Amino acid sequence: MTDPSKIFIFNSALPESLEMSDFLKGMGPSQDNIRGQNIGNGYVAYGFLKALFGRPVKLDHISNALEATLSDQLAEEINGKYSHLVWTMKDDIREDFSGLPIERITHFLEKIMIPVVPVSLCANSFNGYDPGLAKRLSPNQKRFFSLLSEKSKLIGVRGYYSAEILNSLNIKNVKVIGCPSYFENGAIRALHKKPWNADKVVTTATFFNSGLPQTSHLLQDELYFINLLYLEKALPSTSNITAQPFNLNEIPTSFQLLAKAMAGRLEFFSDYRQWTEFFKNNDHCLTIGTRLHSGILSINSGVPAIVTNPDSRARETCEYLRIPYDPTIHSRSNIREVFENLDLSEMNNAYPALHKEFLDFLHAVGLMPCTASYDMPCFEFPNLKKSTGSSVAAELHEAYTELVENLDRELVVRREHGGETSRRLVNKFQLLRRRYPGLTRKEYLDYLSRFSGEAK
């Protein structure tokens, strides 16, 4: 049986610290304009620990390898004290990560002499299963993945597309296992549908639907709202309303998130146990949206989920694990009809064999699942509470006004210098502005009531 004290978790993304900068840094990369500070990243390590030891036992770990001090002393300590370095990975095979300081991690990996166990690695492209992705990776990225292969008996990847990309780099010691978080509950898991209730649907990320005005909406990396609502720190609204503030492509997301925030319907969880309780205790019937790990956590908590993200990361993971997946669902789709047609039998029937494949991988790399002693402490995460004071409402209204003003200026630039796509976006925004001006407090609240129920 595996001794938990002999396992070191590398790049866990587990959000231990309550101090704001450390808390956010632990969630993922932020360099080179990469938005990777995502609470879902830590669910990989959390689910892996539960799958391996039955509980999220507290192991020595580094939460964010890109932010950590990777010293010679740390490498010596890992080599001398531990039997395995488990590397919880993400969609690290992607060309837009070429600017990240990956060479310092490669340099550190060269010093690791114990077996490395990469799990949850996947490729991500945004134009389907792109076989040319491998050729466009930087030399530093290719060197890193080659070294990772040398240090590992097997590399656990989420799907067959990732395996194909690594194979094209002449990396053959690859096994498709999905994401360890999917196996959090162990060998037995069956999911059943609950009665339909439009107000008990949970939406995620950039997915909103006109037929679901009263739903809760989950935050994972929308830092402006996380900071304001849960860390009580207002960031400049010009910098972080959404991933790309005042980009016309994100107008609907910006407005919808502000509307949900004012209506008190944005939710964020820094403690995975509290996140699970949210699903279990509120009689939710469905989670739908672009967030993969919100969907997986929902399924593990007994609530069916549909993932709508069109990127290859979500697609290959859902295809392999049989998670309901449909990127064609949109803001005007009839979600009740989608729910009524949802068949969970394929997912339930496939689970035992998929779980066995995951166990076979663990056995092959020298990790034997066991129930950890209850004397061992578990990870403790900050349980952040949502702020609902008048100052928060005032800040949100100010952010909305500022959003409109900045978009006005961008519209002029797009109209003069943009192409056909920009002109269509301008026309779409102007139509929205005519319908829902939102330039005064009264008009703004009227806008909110139309889109999200009565504003609070």
Residue 110 is which amino acid?
E
Task: Write down the pLDDT at residue 442.
Answer: 45
- Residue 231: DSSP 8-state: S
Residues 141 and 19 in one domain: yes
The span from the CA of 116 to the CA of 155, in Å, is: 9
Q: Which residue has the higher pLDDT, 376 or 35?
A: 376
pLDDT confidence band for 452 (50 / 70 / 90): very low
Do 355 and 395 lie in one domain? The reply is no
Residues 33 and 180 in one domain: yes
Instruction: Specify the higher pLDDT residue, 322 or 409.
Output: 322
Spatial distance between the Cα atoms of 17 and 111, rounded to a whole number of angstroms: 28
The mean per-residue pLDDT over the stretch 38-63 comes to 94
Assess whether 74 and 145 both reside in one domain. yes
118 CB-near residues (< 8 Å, 6+ apart)? 87, 89, 148, 152, 155, 156
What angle, 0 to 180 degrees and rounded to 10, lies between the N-to-C axes of helices 292-300 and 42-53?
30
Domain co-membership, 123 together with 134: yes
Three-state secondary structure call for residue 25? helix
Output the pLDDT for position 413: 54
**One domain, residues 36 and 148:** yes
Residue 190 within a domain: no
Name the band, by pLDDT with cuts 50, 70 and 90, for residue 100. Answer: confident
In a domain, 191, yes or no: no
Q: How far apart are CA 95 and CA 113, in angstroms?
A: 28
Q: Quick one: average pLDDT of 71-85?
A: 98
The count of domains in the chain is 3
Claim to verify: residue 93 and residue 14 sit in the same structural domain: yes
Is there a domain that residue 374 lies in? no
| Structural domain span for residue 226 | 198-233+263-342
Is residue 378 a part of any domain in this protein? no
| Residue 275: per-residue pLDDT | 96
Give CA–CA dist 352/344, Å, rounded. 14
- If asked whether residues 328 and 403 sit together in one domain, one would say no
In a domain, 178, yes or no: yes
Same domain, 181 and 35: yes
**What stretch of H or E contains 418?**
none
In a domain, 192, yes or no: no
Are both 29 and 116 inside the same structural domain?
yes
Contact 121, 162 (CB under 8 A): yes
Tokens of 337: 């009809």
Is residue 50 within 8 A of residue 44, CB to CB? The reply is no
Q: Domain for residue 267, yes or no?
A: yes
3 state DSSP class of 174: strand
pLDDT of residue 455: 34
* Residues 144 and 105 occupy one common structural domain: yes
Q: What is the mean pLDDT of the chain?
A: 85
In this model, does residue 439 exceed pLDDT 80? no
Portion of the chain with pLDDT greater than 90, in percent: 61
- Res 164: pLDDT: 98
Do 172 and 95 belong together in one domain? Answer: yes
The mean pLDDT value for 201-220 works out to 92
